[in-house]
Amino acid sequence: MAEFRPQTLTKAERISSKKQIDKLFSGGQSRSMSAYPLRMVYMVEELDEPVEGAQVAILVSVPKRCFKRAVKRNRVKRQIREAYRRNKYTIIDRVAGQPNFRVSLAFIWLSDTLAKSKLVERRVCSLLTRVAEKI
């Protein structure tokens, strides 16, 4: 029988700390890659002690200049979070053997048009696979 793995997205798996966000976007350690209509900024940190909580944390950003209406911005954010939730083990399995590694991911929407959920999921999956290969 296969091992049960929760398909949830908990609070610990989200980046909410201003310090962590600043560290992610202040260049230096972070890298970026795109799969239109998404761009991913990621940072791999090697810490001195094992990570408490989730080893992989995400942030989803849909700029107001892409969609003026919050309804559309929220829809895109939901699509990205759902795609990540379904494919997160691509990257979690990669860092699971290294307890001192923490990976921060930021998904940024680039397009000013809505996309189908299947397309968003394919793009998120492709970005996660590419990051997992580089770790």
Phi/psi at 108 (nearest 5 deg)? -120, 130
What distance, in Å, lies between the first and last C-alpha atoms of the chain? Answer: 30
Residue closest to 56 by CA, chosen among 103, 126, 96, 18: 103
How much is the pTM? 0.92
Quick check: 29 pLDDT over 70? yes
What's the token pair of residue 49?
A: 């002690």
Longest Cα–Cα distance of the chain, Å, equals 48
Residues 70-74 have a mean pLDDT of: 96
Quick check: 105 pLDDT over 80? yes
Residue 2's pLDDT is 56
SS3 call for 31: strand
